[in-house]
Amino acid sequence: MFFVRTESFQQFLRYYPVISAIIAIHIILFLGVNVSEELRLLLRGVNVYITEAGEYWRLITPIFVHIGLMHFIFNSFSLILFGPALEVMLGKTKFILAYLTTGILANVATLFLAGPWYAHVGASGAIFGLFGIYLYLLFMRPELLDANSRQIIVLIVIFALLMTFLRTGINIYAHIFGLLAGLAMGPLLFTHFKR
């Protein structure tokens, strides 16, 4: 089953170097932005700073920044659970491309759809991008998933979408457009993939 983690810590680092690196960045930046308000202000996505001041790094940096402890834990844990299978299937380069592209597209959607002073942080857009890739596999390449994993994907996506609309303080645009970006990238990522 795709989403059961049985590796030791050392094995996880060896088998999934990209996810391990992303989690390390999460930890470093979580500590950094909670110690330095200046760093927090510099790295979060703020639409008006992107459009008026040309601070385009703010389309990327929010993917790795978390301020609240539960936000940090939830997104990092989601990546640890759902990222490894895709890192193995896609390889390091394609996984990085998929993760960054879906996260950036989620932030671009936020830029165009949210207000000018809307501010946001978090890996949710990229994580929903992974969910979108799994949905593509579920509908178009089901032979690449075992039956248990297919059921888990359906349940997780339904739960994640429900929480998107039921909880406050959620960047709805990033969640929805991250998911759609992952769905759209699926054919590009798995065109020549064979198992």
What H or E segment, with its residue span, contains residue 45?
Answer: strand 45-46
Contact present, 49 and 117 (Cβ < 8 Å): no
Is residue 78 annotated as part of the catalytic site, yes or no? no
Which candidate in 26, 66, 120, 175 is catalytic? Answer: 175
Q: What residues are paired with 120 via a beta bridge?
A: 45
C-alpha pair distances (Å), 27 with each of 4, 34, 66 = 23, 11, 9
192 counts as catalytic: no
Helix (H) or strand (E) segment spanning residue 17 = helix 17-35
The 3-state DSSP class for residue 46 equals: strand
Q: Which of 20, 76, 124, 149 is catalytic?
A: 124
Q: Supply φ then ψ for residue 64, to 5 degrees.
A: -110, 0
Separation CA 90–CA 177 (nearest Å): 21
Instruction: Please classify residue 40 by burial: count the beta carbons closer than 10 Å to its beta carbon, then call 0-12 exposed, 13-18 middle and 19+ buried.
Output: middle
Give the CA distances from residue 85 to residues 37, 131, 193, in Å, rounded to whole numbers and listed in that order: 36, 12, 14
Residues with active-site annotation: 124, 175
